[in-house]
Structure 1
Amino acid sequence: MRLVVVGAAGRMGRMLVKAVHEAPGCVLAAAVERPGSAMLGQDAGLLAGLPANKVTVTDDAASAFAAADAVLDFTTPDSTVAFAALAAQAGIAHIVGTTGLEPRHLAALEAAASRTAIIRSGNMSLGVNLLAALVRKVSATLGTDWDIEIVEMHHRMKVDAPSGTAVLLGEAAAQGRAVDLAEKRVAVRDGHTGAREPGTIGFATLRGGTVVGDHKVVFASMGERLELSHIAEDRSLFAQGAVKAALWSKGRAPGLYSMADVLGLDAL
């Protein structure tokens, strides 16, 4: 399967290039960076710490997409929207691991998904998506007298908060209760906040050091507490999940899919 990596010179981009290199049945068709990048013209393999692969970094995404089967995208929200339009035009699958997406970005992805398959997830790992399925099940089982809090910690350089994974877990909790996360979400507490409003889903964000990603969902009731957690120790698992999603996308009808679809977790 011919895969394109966008943002190929970044930290996740290089891991994606390596994951494609290591995955049976996959080949790196192109590596794309933004116009003006100092990495244009460099060998994508060498940038990823691999032997030279003769795939030079380019800023011509349209041409790269035209000769590929799918694109792996862990860039920025605005870039992802632009790549979604190009992927839909080329008729190739778009694997989106970009976080920090706002409603306008999600609407653009939904529009593009009417023309091609898009697999989007705030986290591509098996563990996190299994955790989300469990959170959805527990949330549906427990009553609203159980408070739900989501705590996440990432490295000091992360620019969006709460993390895409935390939002993914919040969405799972909301789905379990058949409510809209946007209406129940409490992302910030500061000062005299008053008592906790029943039925809300709270988020707490921690940043520091080199933490890859820690997430915990707390269900708290009167006299007891249930905690479900996931610890990511290596970013390569996100890249490997994205490649798995790309392979799954082959031959899929246009539509917006999730990693739960890829991993067959909807039955949980």
Structure 2
Amino acid sequence: MNAPIRLLIHGATGRMGQALLWLAAQAPADFTVVAAVSRKPSQRVVDGVPQFGASELAGVPAFDVAIDFSLAEAFDRILALCEGRGVALVTGTTGLDDTQRDALRAASARIPVLWASNFSLGVAVLADLVERAARALPGWDCDIVEAHHAGKRDAPSGTALSLGAAAGQGGASPRYASLRAGDIVGEHTVQFTTAGERIELVHRAGNRDIFARGALHAASRLGTRAPGLYRLADLLD
């Protein structure tokens, strides 16, 4: 039996960080969280997990994979730590600038790294289907309609843009429409239309735990991979 994967959770007090800690604790045979890192923790140990401040990052114990859902201004430190220790990084931190994206690509020559705008395994499959549909349906209109809760500011969503990129890889020119209402977790519809025909590919998120589960799935597979820049779809098997 393999030993549990040692995880570092970076951005531990955020919504995703809390979901990751909870789900990892439900699977002790698969994961052990050796460090939870946040800006300024109020306690040193919470539910058996050591807590570290951002300024203490260099002193965290050995880990196999870091999962990062923090802020763009904290991203450089966690990338440098993973690169320096030669361990894998799974990150969903948004708002990275061009310099940070270049640094992520450069680090992938030395460690396995994965950045995704959405960690739903269903969305990863959807993106593959969208690219295949766009390739098979040249000349069809492509529209992406996404809906999220009223508090979400960016529009189109990062996931919609990623699906649009997949459509573009297949040769389509996607258009976007966004809806912000109520407490919708996330819905994405990719529609291909021509005279007399319409195809709809749809993903609906029922709760936010699916994203944390996807990140843990990625962590369970990325740590043993060769250095490189991976997509979530690369880790589905």
Q: TM-score, normalised by structure 2?
A: 0.89
Which moved further from structure 2: 243-252 or 94-103?
A: 94-103
> Counterparts of 1:118 and 1:71 in 2: how far apart (Å)?
10
Amino acid at match of 1:62: A
Amino acid at match of 1:237: I
Aligned match of 1:236: 209
Aligned match of 1:62: 58
**Residue 112 of structure 1: how far off its partner (Å):** 1.6
Match of 1:210, SS?
A: coil
> Counterparts of 1:108 and 1:40 in 2: how far apart (Å)?
32
Aligned match of 2:168: 174
Q: Tell whether 2:196 aligns with 1:223.
A: yes
**Residue 8 of structure 1: how far off its partner (Å):** 0.5
Partners of 2:87 and 2:223 within 8 A in 1: no
> Counterparts of 1:126 and 1:54 in 2: how far apart (Å)?
27
Q: Once the two structures are superposed, what CA deviation does each residue of 1:208-236 show, in whole Å capped at 9, x if it has no partner? A: 32211111111122332211110001111
**Identical residues among aligned pairs (%):** 42
Amino acid at match of 1:25: D
**Residue 102 of structure 1: how far off its partner (Å):** 4.4
Q: Tell whether 2:156 aligns with 1:162.
A: yes
The 1:200–1:113 alpha-carbon spacing in structure 2 relative to 1, beyond 3 Å, is: same
> Counterparts of 1:3 and 1:159 in 2: how far apart (Å)?
31
Aligned match of 1:33: 38
> Counterparts of 1:5 and 1:75 in 2: how far apart (Å)?
9
Moved beyond 4 Å, runs of 4+: none
Aligned match of 2:85: 90
**Residue 161 of structure 1: how far off its partner (Å):** 3.2
- Aligned ranges 1:194-209 → 2 under 5 Å: 200-209=173-182
> Counterparts of 1:204 and 1:43 in 2: how far apart (Å)?
45
Amino acid at match of 1:8: A
Partners of 1:8 and 1:57 within 8 A in 2: no
Aligned match of 2:101: 106
Aligned match of 1:187: none
Name structure 2 gaps, 5 residues minimum: none
> Counterparts of 1:159 and 1:80 in 2: how far apart (Å)?
21
**Residue 240 of structure 1: how far off its partner (Å):** 1.0
Q: TM-score, normalised by structure 1?
A: 0.79
Give the number of equivalent residue pairs.
231
The 1:210–1:225 alpha-carbon spacing in structure 2 relative to 1, beyond 3 Å, is: same
